[in-house]
Amino acid sequence: MAIPKAQYVSDVWKDGLFASKVVFCTGGSGSICSAQVRALVHLGADACIVGRNPKKAEEKAQSIATARPGARVLGIGNVDVRHVDSLHSAVATCVKELRRIDFVIAGAAGNFLAPIRSLSANAFKAVIDIDLLGSYNTVKATLPHLIASSKEGAGGGRFVFVSANMFQTGLVLQTHVGAAKSAVNALSNNMAIELGPLGITSNVIAPGPIGDTEGMDRLTPASDANTASATKIPLGRMGSVRDIADATVYLFSDAANYVNGDVLIVDGGAWRTGGGAPGHTVPYPDFLLSSDEVSAAKVEGRKGKL
């Protein structure tokens, strides 16, 4: 299904900006990452999106391809970023079909709400494995192709990791995610140092609360998702997937040729006030001192526990 351009990319970018480029994206079936890829495809790129659900990946790829006549978008399922072999297979398919990879978006992630007292070691490890190990595996599988792209000297060879703004302050009920995303930031920083001499850039986009996304719908009470959540955000609104997509276009464009090892926070200033984030509606510290369960999210049939 075609989506109006205004919902996923601004008019400031020129058509054909990414002609002949190919982007590989993990988590590409999700609300945010699919918008990032859709924007790049609209501006000339072809793409591979990968995920665990084949049907969802294929359907999302077909939808993204409507962003530009003649676009080629592959949806590759049965890919678990925790297993590097499945990523290598997906990368091989992408290169076979589209001939190259110039840009990588590492966006696969897991999240749920849980206080640390009921957060099991397995639950903590699951998020670390998906967010951090998955990002590392994505780098290992795609790096040779980004090195080749960078050597061509035509603006390729760029990594973008999707993190979260909570690394600045921490966030109640998000210990596991904060630890994982902070480590992803560190991974990107070290890549910037080691891969910069090869002409490769590595940067992070740290979204704040983004409205009308699967994540916010799952983690925030429906009555609060787009109203009270925005009251503490300095710009007075929830973010949109277009805000994140525009930041991605910037980092992959020639305008960001000298941007490397950066964390670009895209949250309307929310991290400075704690506005809008998952878990922010929980009374603090009263909730943590009680035996109440988290009611905003269901995890494997139980509220707030794993």
The catalytic site residues sit at: 163, 181
Phi and psi at residue 111, in whole multiples of 5°? -160, 150
